[in-house]
Amino acid sequence: MNITFHPQAVVELNESIDYYENQSIGLGLEFAEEVYSTIQRIIQFPNAWMKFSKNCRRCITHRFPFGIVY
């Protein structure tokens, strides 16, 4: 599976990493690792999550209130 990020998703991800890092040193890295882990679950089981819309699905991260739409 080829993974690419929409340009606005990159901005949102980076802003979220910065936000968590400003809340507590190291939390931004933990958030980034959780997003990476969620993407790995999506790659492994792409049909495991319900459809978010006609052509998209969404997987919510475990620790943070953040969803990956794919």
The tens digit of pLDDT for each residue in 17-37 reads 999 999 999 999 999 999 999
| pLDDT reported for residue 11 | 97
d(CA 44, CA 49): 12
| Banded model confidence at residue 2, pLDDT cuts 50, 70, 90 | confident
Contact 42, 35 (CB under 8 A): no
Percent of the chain with pLDDT over 90: 93
| pLDDT reported for residue 55 | 92
pTM of the model: 0.88
Please state the three-class secondary structure of the chain as a single string.
CCCCCCHHHHHHHHHHHHHHHHHCCCHHHHHHHHHHHHHHHHHHCCCCCCEEECCEEEEECCCCCCEEEC
